[in-house]
Amino acid sequence: MRTLPVLVLAMTTVVLTACSGGSSTTSTTESAGTTTGSAETSLAPSTSPAPQDCAAGYLSQFTLRQKLAQLLTVGVTGAADAENVVRTEQIGGIFVGGWTESSLLADHQIDKVKAASRTPLMVTIDEEGGRVSRVRNLIGEAPSARATVDVMSPEEFYTFSLDRAKKLKSFGVTVNFAPDVDVSSQPADSVIGDRSFSDKPDVVIAYADAYIRALKDAGVGSVMKHFPGHGAGSGDSHTGAVRTPPLAELQTRDLVPFRTLIGSGAAVMVGHLDVPGLTEPNIPASISPQVMQLLRQGTGYGAAPFDGVIFTDDLGGMAAITSRMSIEEAVEASLVAGADNALWITTDAVTSVLDRLEQAVSSGRLPGAQVDASVLRMAKFKGTAPTC
């Protein structure tokens, strides 16, 4: 981008209890030992039932449609819009944009929205600072990334960002679509421009790492963007297709921050970028299986494998996608390609998107096992995954 009700607690308790394999298994073993009273028998392999698979237990609380809804994040206009889409379709996340009524966060109306969700709701925003700031009126102004480098050291930036991240958390935000780790020397007012910390990868890494640590320490998820690198792109994906330098050139510049920070705990947002040597013609990165595979495996750009969450950039308001396909087609294409979460900026098409995704699973275009894996990644990112 330019982002438990009582029933749920009860269900979660059931899942975690079933996963623990604790007291019930132990008592069965002890009972068997007491009955035989034999040292030889006590050394025999236990015939107690194996603990329930944690992942299967967690996933069993969802219908297929609810699983698919966990993989969507949509922009909302305000509390009523948000509560309606959460209550009716149980989507996994909402996005707070510049068009969203400020009272959603300012007056804590978000609490009622969260209460409508049967699983923890992800509340996202893109609060980078500078010209990409949605809640400056709530948490104060922040310099752009490029200006930050001129006025703060990385550790000073960490302290500054930690205070802002705690404020975001206090207003109900759970995920910030930041930092921008694009490496760019573009003019300040260009699409990336001053949203980039620097045209030097090591500087980007130092400040992005400070931002990720600050968000993590405040309990807010972070999302690095825009993979595999928008900093030297040919244009603005909001208005049309963007072509990056060839993959070989990205290796020594644009991909360096991702390579270095891939184990930081941050999720990754994939941009709508045409990448020579990587993407197929007219298949931008956000819907490209080759890009998702590059990110997952890591070997193609010298990084560790990535099993965190992959978000798309906005699929519904950026011409690099909308000029090529409908929102229903784009969401399906992104998830089939390997993204975990499809992002767009309105609630209008949620029902039609879910209808199409259900058809995609039933037809085999979108494998059910792939959906399950994404649901589990989302749960881990939210901090709600089951533990054994």
> Would you say residue 9 lies in a domain?
no
> Would you say residue 29 lies in a domain?
yes
| Nearest in space to 330 (alpha carbons), one of 309, 360, 375, 308 | 360
Are 41 and 132 in the same domain?
Answer: no
CA distance 85 to 76: 9
| Nearest in space to 313 (alpha carbons), one of 267, 269, 349 | 269
CA distance 228 to 234: 14
Are 45 and 186 in the same domain?
Answer: no
Are 261 and 333 in the same domain?
Answer: yes
| pLDDT of 32 above 80 | no
CA distance 279 to 319: 18
Are 94 and 26 in the same domain?
Answer: no
| Nearest in space to 95 (alpha carbons), one of 130, 52, 126 | 126
Tokens of 332: 């399906």
Angle between helices 350-363 and 79-89 (to 10 degrees): 30
Are 181 and 34 in the same domain?
Answer: no
Are 43 and 93 in the same domain?
Answer: no
Are 321 and 354 in the same domain?
Answer: yes
Domain count, the chain: 2
Decide: pTM greater than 0.95. Answer: no
Find the domain containing 33 and state its range. 18-52
Burial of 257 by CB count in 10 Å (0-12 exposed, 13-18 middle, 19+ buried)?
A: buried
Are 257 and 286 in the same domain?
Answer: yes
Residues known to be catalytic: 238, 313
CA distance 79 to 46: 54
How many CB atoms are located within 10 Å of the residue 344 CB? 27
HSE value, Cβ hemisphere, 13 Å, CA-based, for 61: 24
Are 349 and 209 in the same domain?
Answer: yes
Are 324 and 264 in the same domain?
Answer: yes
Residue 165: predicted pLDDT: 98
Mean model confidence pLDDT for the chain: 88
> Would you say residue 13 lies in a domain?
no
Are 116 and 265 in the same domain?
Answer: yes
Residue 142: predicted pLDDT: 97
Q: 19-23, 211-215, 321-325: lowest mean pLDDT where? A: 19-23
Residue 317: predicted pLDDT: 84
Q: Give the end of a domain, one of 52, 72, 99.
A: 52
> Would you say residue 4 lies in a domain?
no
Are 79 and 32 in the same domain?
Answer: no
Residue 269 sits in a domain of what CATH number? 3.20.20.300
Close Cβ partners of 170 (under 8 Å, ≥ 6 residues apart): none
Residue 3: predicted pLDDT: 41
> Would you say residue 183 lies in a domain?
yes
Across 308-328, average pLDDT: 92
For residue range 227-261, list pLDDT tens digits in order.
Answer: 999 999 987 777 778 899 999 999 999 999 999 99
> Would you say residue 328 lies in a domain?
yes
> Would you say residue 42 lies in a domain?
yes
Residue 6: predicted pLDDT: 34
> Would you say residue 248 lies in a domain?
yes
For residue range 222-234, list pLDDT tens digits in order.
Answer: 999 999 999 999 8
| Nearest in space to 222 (alpha carbons), one of 207, 239, 201 | 207
